[in-house]
Structure 1
Protein backbone atom coordinates (compact mmCIF):
# COMPACT_ATOMS: atom_id res chain seq x y z
CA UNK A 1 0.00 0.00 0.00
CA UNK A 2 1.41 3.39 -0.98
CA UNK A 3 1.36 5.87 1.85
CA UNK A 4 -0.39 9.12 0.98
CA UNK A 5 1.30 12.37 2.01
CA UNK A 6 -0.18 14.01 5.08
CA UNK A 7 -3.13 16.24 4.33
CA UNK A 8 -2.44 19.95 4.83
CA UNK A 9 -3.62 21.52 8.09
CA UNK A 10 -3.71 25.31 8.32
CA UNK A 11 -5.10 27.61 11.00
CA UNK A 12 -5.23 31.18 9.69
CA UNK A 13 -6.44 34.46 11.18
CA UNK A 14 -8.48 35.87 8.29
CA UNK A 15 -10.58 34.93 5.29
CA UNK A 16 -7.97 36.56 3.03
CA UNK A 17 -5.28 34.25 4.46
CA UNK A 18 -7.60 31.27 3.94
CA UNK A 19 -8.16 32.31 0.30
CA UNK A 20 -4.38 32.42 -0.24
CA UNK A 21 -3.94 28.91 1.16
CA UNK A 22 -6.98 27.56 -0.74
CA UNK A 23 -5.69 28.95 -4.07
CA UNK A 24 -2.28 27.36 -3.48
CA UNK A 25 -3.80 23.99 -2.57
CA UNK A 26 -6.10 24.08 -5.62
CA UNK A 27 -3.05 24.69 -7.85
CA UNK A 28 -1.39 21.70 -6.18
CA UNK A 29 -4.26 19.41 -7.19
CA UNK A 30 -6.37 19.37 -4.02
CA UNK A 31 -10.18 19.46 -4.24
CA UNK A 32 -11.43 22.26 -1.99
CA UNK A 33 -14.87 22.48 -0.38
CA UNK A 34 -16.36 24.96 2.03
CA UNK A 35 -17.53 23.65 5.42
CA UNK A 36 -16.20 20.82 7.54
CA UNK A 37 -18.89 18.17 6.99
CA UNK A 38 -17.51 15.34 4.88
CA UNK A 39 -19.56 14.33 1.84
CA UNK A 40 -18.33 10.73 1.87
CA UNK A 41 -19.64 7.92 4.04
CA UNK A 42 -16.23 6.24 3.71
CA UNK A 43 -14.19 6.70 6.89
CA UNK A 44 -10.76 7.21 5.31
CA UNK A 45 -10.81 10.06 2.78
CA UNK A 46 -7.02 10.53 2.66
CA UNK A 47 -6.82 9.28 -0.94
CA UNK A 48 -9.44 11.81 -2.10
CA UNK A 49 -7.05 14.79 -1.75
CA UNK A 50 -9.89 16.77 -0.22
CA UNK A 51 -9.43 20.01 1.71
CA UNK A 52 -12.26 21.51 3.76
CA UNK A 53 -12.23 25.14 4.79
CA UNK A 54 -14.28 27.54 6.87
CA UNK A 55 -14.56 29.46 10.11
CA UNK A 56 -14.16 27.75 13.49
CA UNK A 57 -15.94 29.87 16.08
CA UNK A 58 -17.51 27.29 18.38
CA UNK A 59 -17.13 23.74 19.70
CA UNK A 60 -19.37 22.23 17.01
CA UNK A 61 -17.22 23.59 14.18
CA UNK A 62 -14.09 22.56 16.09
CA UNK A 63 -15.34 18.97 16.43
CA UNK A 64 -16.29 18.75 12.74
CA UNK A 65 -12.91 20.13 11.64
CA UNK A 66 -10.93 17.74 13.85
CA UNK A 67 -13.06 14.76 12.80
CA UNK A 68 -12.56 15.62 9.13
CA UNK A 69 -8.80 15.89 9.70
CA UNK A 70 -8.77 12.56 11.58
CA UNK A 71 -10.51 10.97 8.60
CA UNK A 72 -7.76 12.24 6.28
CA UNK A 73 -9.13 15.50 4.89
CA UNK A 74 -7.01 18.63 4.72
CA UNK A 75 -8.18 21.59 6.81
CA UNK A 76 -7.96 25.34 6.35
CA UNK A 77 -9.57 26.88 9.43
CA UNK A 78 -10.15 30.57 9.99
CA UNK A 79 -9.75 31.00 13.73
CA UNK A 80 -7.93 33.13 16.28
CA UNK A 81 -5.17 30.71 17.33
CA UNK A 82 -4.85 32.51 20.68
CA UNK A 83 -8.51 32.07 21.68
CA UNK A 84 -9.54 29.04 23.78
CA UNK A 85 -11.25 27.50 20.73
CA UNK A 86 -8.20 28.24 18.58
CA UNK A 87 -5.80 26.71 21.08
CA UNK A 88 -7.98 23.59 21.30
CA UNK A 89 -8.12 23.37 17.50
CA UNK A 90 -4.34 23.71 17.07
CA UNK A 91 -3.74 21.23 19.91
CA UNK A 92 -6.10 18.60 18.47
CA UNK A 93 -4.88 19.01 14.89
CA UNK A 94 -1.25 18.83 16.09
CA UNK A 95 -1.92 15.33 17.37
CA UNK A 96 -2.63 14.31 13.78
CA UNK A 97 0.43 15.93 12.25
CA UNK A 98 2.00 19.28 11.41
CA UNK A 99 -0.25 22.34 11.64
CA UNK A 100 0.70 25.51 9.80
CA UNK A 101 -0.20 28.77 11.48
CA UNK A 102 -0.91 31.45 8.91
CA UNK A 103 -0.99 31.21 5.13
CA UNK A 104 2.63 30.08 4.81
CA UNK A 105 3.54 29.87 8.46
CA UNK A 106 5.82 27.44 10.14
CA UNK A 107 4.29 24.34 11.67
CA UNK A 108 3.09 24.66 15.25
CA UNK A 109 5.08 22.63 17.77
CA UNK A 110 3.97 19.00 17.78
CA UNK A 111 2.61 17.43 20.94
CA UNK A 112 4.72 14.82 22.66
CA UNK A 113 3.54 11.25 22.43
CA UNK A 114 5.12 7.85 22.20
CA UNK A 115 5.91 7.09 18.56
CA UNK A 116 5.22 3.36 18.85
CA UNK A 117 2.29 3.44 21.27
CA UNK A 118 -0.01 1.68 18.77
CA UNK A 119 2.29 -1.35 18.81
CA UNK A 120 2.01 -1.48 22.60
CA UNK A 121 -1.80 -1.51 22.63
CA UNK A 122 -3.54 -4.78 23.41
CA UNK A 123 -6.17 -5.95 20.88
CA UNK A 124 -9.04 -4.90 23.21
CA UNK A 125 -7.67 -1.35 23.32
CA UNK A 126 -7.32 -1.20 19.53
CA UNK A 127 -10.87 -2.47 19.06
CA UNK A 128 -12.26 0.05 21.55
CA UNK A 129 -10.34 2.94 19.98
CA UNK A 130 -11.50 1.89 16.49
CA UNK A 131 -15.11 1.91 17.66
CA UNK A 132 -14.71 5.27 19.40
CA UNK A 133 -13.16 6.69 16.23
CA UNK A 134 -16.21 5.46 14.31
CA UNK A 135 -18.45 7.44 16.66
CA UNK A 136 -19.52 4.84 19.22
CA UNK A 137 -19.86 5.77 22.86
CA UNK A 138 -17.68 3.96 25.39
CA UNK A 139 -20.72 1.99 26.56
CA UNK A 140 -21.63 0.95 23.00
CA UNK A 141 -18.02 0.04 22.21
CA UNK A 142 -17.79 -2.02 25.41
CA UNK A 143 -21.00 -3.89 24.60
CA UNK A 144 -19.88 -4.57 21.02
CA UNK A 145 -16.57 -5.96 22.28
CA UNK A 146 -18.28 -8.02 25.04
CA UNK A 147 -16.52 -6.08 27.80
CA UNK A 148 -17.94 -4.59 30.96
CA UNK A 149 -18.10 -0.81 31.01
CA UNK A 150 -15.60 -0.80 33.87
CA UNK A 151 -13.10 -2.90 31.90
CA UNK A 152 -13.56 -0.72 28.81
CA UNK A 153 -12.94 2.41 30.86
CA UNK A 154 -9.79 0.85 32.33
CA UNK A 155 -8.48 -0.16 28.90
CA UNK A 156 -9.12 3.35 27.55
CA UNK A 157 -7.46 4.92 30.60
CA UNK A 158 -4.41 2.71 29.96
CA UNK A 159 -4.40 3.85 26.32
CA UNK A 160 -4.56 7.50 27.41
CA UNK A 161 -1.55 6.94 29.66
CA UNK A 162 0.30 5.14 26.88
CA UNK A 163 -0.26 8.04 24.47
CA UNK A 164 0.51 10.59 27.18
CA UNK A 165 -2.81 12.45 26.82
CA UNK A 166 -5.54 13.50 29.26
CA UNK A 167 -8.78 12.89 27.38
CA UNK A 168 -10.28 10.01 25.47
CA UNK A 169 -10.75 12.24 22.44
CA UNK A 170 -7.02 13.01 22.46
CA UNK A 171 -6.24 9.29 22.73
CA UNK A 172 -8.46 8.48 19.74
CA UNK A 173 -6.81 11.22 17.67
CA UNK A 174 -3.30 10.07 18.65
CA UNK A 175 -4.27 6.48 17.84
CA UNK A 176 -5.63 7.43 14.41
CA UNK A 177 -2.55 9.48 13.58
CA UNK A 178 -0.08 6.78 14.59
CA UNK A 179 -2.09 4.01 12.96
CA UNK A 180 -2.11 5.97 9.69
CA UNK A 181 1.67 6.43 9.75
CA UNK A 182 2.32 2.73 10.36
CA UNK A 183 0.03 1.48 7.57
Structure 2
Protein backbone atom coordinates (compact mmCIF):
# COMPACT_ATOMS: atom_id res chain seq x y z
CA UNK A 1 0.00 0.00 0.00
CA UNK A 2 1.45 3.38 -0.97
CA UNK A 3 1.12 6.17 1.54
CA UNK A 4 -0.62 9.31 0.36
CA UNK A 5 1.45 12.47 0.74
CA UNK A 6 0.37 14.74 3.57
CA UNK A 7 -2.32 17.21 2.69
CA UNK A 8 -1.12 20.79 2.36
CA UNK A 9 -1.72 23.15 5.28
CA UNK A 10 -1.36 26.88 4.57
CA UNK A 11 -2.13 29.94 6.68
CA UNK A 12 -2.08 33.12 4.59
CA UNK A 13 -2.79 36.76 5.37
CA UNK A 14 -5.07 37.75 2.48
CA UNK A 15 -7.25 36.40 -0.33
CA UNK A 16 -4.60 37.17 -2.96
CA UNK A 17 -2.10 34.88 -1.23
CA UNK A 18 -4.82 32.23 -0.89
CA UNK A 19 -5.50 32.43 -4.64
CA UNK A 20 -1.79 31.97 -5.38
CA UNK A 21 -1.61 28.87 -3.18
CA UNK A 22 -4.90 27.46 -4.50
CA UNK A 23 -3.84 27.88 -8.15
CA UNK A 24 -0.66 25.92 -7.43
CA UNK A 25 -2.58 23.18 -5.58
CA UNK A 26 -5.22 22.87 -8.32
CA UNK A 27 -2.42 22.60 -10.89
CA UNK A 28 -1.00 19.74 -8.78
CA UNK A 29 -4.32 17.85 -8.88
CA UNK A 30 -6.09 19.07 -5.73
CA UNK A 31 -9.81 19.89 -5.82
CA UNK A 32 -10.61 23.22 -4.11
CA UNK A 33 -13.82 23.82 -2.18
CA UNK A 34 -14.74 26.95 -0.24
CA UNK A 35 -15.52 26.55 3.46
CA UNK A 36 -14.17 24.09 6.00
CA UNK A 37 -17.15 21.77 6.50
CA UNK A 38 -16.48 18.39 4.92
CA UNK A 39 -19.39 17.00 2.88
CA UNK A 40 -17.99 13.45 2.83
CA UNK A 41 -19.31 11.27 5.69
CA UNK A 42 -16.18 9.07 5.62
CA UNK A 43 -13.68 10.06 8.31
CA UNK A 44 -10.52 9.76 6.22
CA UNK A 45 -10.72 11.93 3.10
CA UNK A 46 -7.00 11.79 2.32
CA UNK A 47 -7.47 10.03 -1.01
CA UNK A 48 -9.93 12.66 -2.26
CA UNK A 49 -7.18 15.29 -2.69
CA UNK A 50 -9.61 17.88 -1.40
CA UNK A 51 -8.37 21.27 -0.24
CA UNK A 52 -10.75 23.48 1.71
CA UNK A 53 -10.26 27.23 1.90
CA UNK A 54 -11.73 30.29 3.53
CA UNK A 55 -11.40 32.88 6.28
CA UNK A 56 -10.89 32.02 9.92
CA UNK A 57 -13.09 34.56 11.70
CA UNK A 58 -14.10 32.80 14.91
CA UNK A 59 -13.34 29.74 17.06
CA UNK A 60 -15.94 27.67 15.17
CA UNK A 61 -14.29 28.19 11.77
CA UNK A 62 -10.92 27.44 13.40
CA UNK A 63 -12.27 24.14 14.78
CA UNK A 64 -13.75 23.18 11.41
CA UNK A 65 -10.44 23.90 9.64
CA UNK A 66 -8.42 21.82 12.12
CA UNK A 67 -10.93 18.97 11.98
CA UNK A 68 -10.81 19.00 8.17
CA UNK A 69 -7.00 18.85 8.29
CA UNK A 70 -7.11 16.00 10.83
CA UNK A 71 -9.42 14.07 8.50
CA UNK A 72 -6.93 14.42 5.63
CA UNK A 73 -8.17 17.43 3.71
CA UNK A 74 -5.83 20.19 2.65
CA UNK A 75 -6.43 23.58 4.23
CA UNK A 76 -5.75 27.10 2.99
CA UNK A 77 -6.84 29.42 5.79
CA UNK A 78 -6.96 33.21 5.50
CA UNK A 79 -6.05 34.55 8.91
CA UNK A 80 -3.58 36.93 10.53
CA UNK A 81 -1.01 34.47 11.94
CA UNK A 82 -0.11 36.99 14.66
CA UNK A 83 -3.66 37.28 16.03
CA UNK A 84 -4.90 35.08 18.87
CA UNK A 85 -6.97 33.00 16.44
CA UNK A 86 -4.07 32.81 14.00
CA UNK A 87 -1.61 31.59 16.62
CA UNK A 88 -4.12 28.99 17.82
CA UNK A 89 -4.72 27.84 14.23
CA UNK A 90 -1.01 27.52 13.45
CA UNK A 91 -0.38 25.69 16.76
CA UNK A 92 -3.20 23.22 16.16
CA UNK A 93 -2.30 22.57 12.53
CA UNK A 94 1.39 22.16 13.42
CA UNK A 95 0.44 19.23 15.64
CA UNK A 96 -0.71 17.49 12.45
CA UNK A 97 2.41 18.26 10.43
CA UNK A 98 4.17 21.10 8.61
CA UNK A 99 2.25 24.34 8.11
CA UNK A 100 3.24 26.91 5.50
CA UNK A 101 2.63 30.52 6.36
CA UNK A 102 2.19 32.82 3.40
CA UNK A 103 2.37 31.96 -0.28
CA UNK A 104 5.84 30.41 0.05
CA UNK A 105 7.09 28.30 -2.84
CA UNK A 106 6.65 24.57 -2.66
CA UNK A 107 9.37 22.41 -1.03
CA UNK A 108 12.68 22.37 -2.81
CA UNK A 109 12.03 25.58 -4.78
CA UNK A 110 12.94 28.19 -2.17
CA UNK A 111 16.18 26.61 -1.00
CA UNK A 112 15.22 26.59 2.70
CA UNK A 113 12.88 23.76 3.61
CA UNK A 114 14.48 23.68 7.10
CA UNK A 115 12.43 26.76 7.98
CA UNK A 116 9.25 24.71 7.38
CA UNK A 117 10.16 21.93 9.80
CA UNK A 118 8.18 21.56 13.01
CA UNK A 119 10.20 21.48 16.28
CA UNK A 120 9.84 17.68 16.59
CA UNK A 121 11.38 17.24 13.14
CA UNK A 122 14.29 19.55 13.95
CA UNK A 123 14.97 17.72 17.22
CA UNK A 124 14.90 14.33 15.49
CA UNK A 125 17.17 15.49 12.67
CA UNK A 126 19.59 17.04 15.19
CA UNK A 127 19.78 13.73 17.05
CA UNK A 128 20.23 11.76 13.82
CA UNK A 129 23.00 14.16 12.79
CA UNK A 130 24.68 13.50 16.15
CA UNK A 131 24.69 9.76 15.38
CA UNK A 132 21.55 8.51 17.15
CA UNK A 133 19.40 5.85 15.55
CA UNK A 134 15.79 6.72 14.78
CA UNK A 135 14.67 4.57 17.73
CA UNK A 136 17.10 6.32 20.12
CA UNK A 137 16.12 9.76 18.81
CA UNK A 138 12.42 8.91 19.22
CA UNK A 139 12.93 7.73 22.79
CA UNK A 140 14.97 10.82 23.67
CA UNK A 141 12.22 13.07 22.29
CA UNK A 142 9.45 11.06 24.02
CA UNK A 143 7.91 10.04 20.70
CA UNK A 144 6.73 6.65 19.55
CA UNK A 145 8.88 5.08 16.86
CA UNK A 146 5.92 5.32 14.47
CA UNK A 147 5.52 9.07 15.07
CA UNK A 148 9.27 9.61 14.68
CA UNK A 149 9.25 7.73 11.37
CA UNK A 150 6.28 9.81 10.15
CA UNK A 151 7.97 13.09 11.12
CA UNK A 152 11.17 12.04 9.37
CA UNK A 153 9.19 10.99 6.26
CA UNK A 154 7.55 14.44 6.27
CA UNK A 155 11.01 16.03 6.51
CA UNK A 156 12.22 13.94 3.56
CA UNK A 157 9.24 15.20 1.55
CA UNK A 158 9.95 18.81 2.53
CA UNK A 159 13.55 18.51 1.40
CA UNK A 160 12.56 16.58 -1.72
CA UNK A 161 14.90 13.66 -0.97
CA UNK A 162 14.41 9.90 -0.82
CA UNK A 163 16.55 8.82 2.12
CA UNK A 164 16.80 9.86 5.75
CA UNK A 165 20.55 10.36 5.32
CA UNK A 166 19.91 12.84 2.50
CA UNK A 167 17.33 14.64 4.68
CA UNK A 168 19.84 14.96 7.54
CA UNK A 169 22.50 16.31 5.17
CA UNK A 170 20.06 18.79 3.59
CA UNK A 171 18.94 19.89 7.07
CA UNK A 172 22.54 20.44 8.20
CA UNK A 173 23.35 22.46 5.06
CA UNK A 174 20.31 24.70 5.47
CA UNK A 175 20.58 25.01 9.24
CA UNK A 176 24.08 26.38 8.91
CA UNK A 177 27.13 25.99 11.13
CA UNK A 178 26.96 26.43 14.88
CA UNK A 179 23.18 26.30 15.19
**Map of 1:97-112 to 2, 5 A cutoff?**
97-104=97-104, 108=116, 110-112=118-120
Structure 2 residue runs of 5 or longer lacking an equivalent are 106-112, 121-140, 155-179
Q: Note if 1:116 corresponds to 2:124.
A: no
Mapped to 2, the partners of 1:117 and 1:79 lie a distance apart of 34
Q: Residue 64 of structure 1 aligns to a residue in which SS?
A: helix
TM-score normalized by structure 1?
A: 0.61
Report runs of 4+ in structure 1 exceeding 3 Å deviation: 105-109, 111-115
The CA deviation at 1:114 is: 3.8
SS in 2 for 1:11: strand
- In the TM superposition, 1:49-60 aligns within 5 A as 49-60=49-60
* Residue 63 of structure 2 corresponds to residue 63 of structure 1: yes
Residue pair 1:12, 1:102 contacting (<8 A) in 2 also: yes
- TM-score, length of structure 2 as denominator length: 0.62
> What is the total number of aligned residue pairs between the two structures?
122
RMSD: 2.2
What residue in structure 1 maps to residue 31 of structure 2? 31
Partner of 2:91: 91
Cα pair 1:17 1:102 within 8 Å, conserved: yes
Structure 1 unpaired stretches of 5+: 120-176
CA distance in 1, matches of 2:60, 2:146: 28
Residues 17/71 of structure 1: CA separation in 2 closer, same or farther (3 Å cut): same
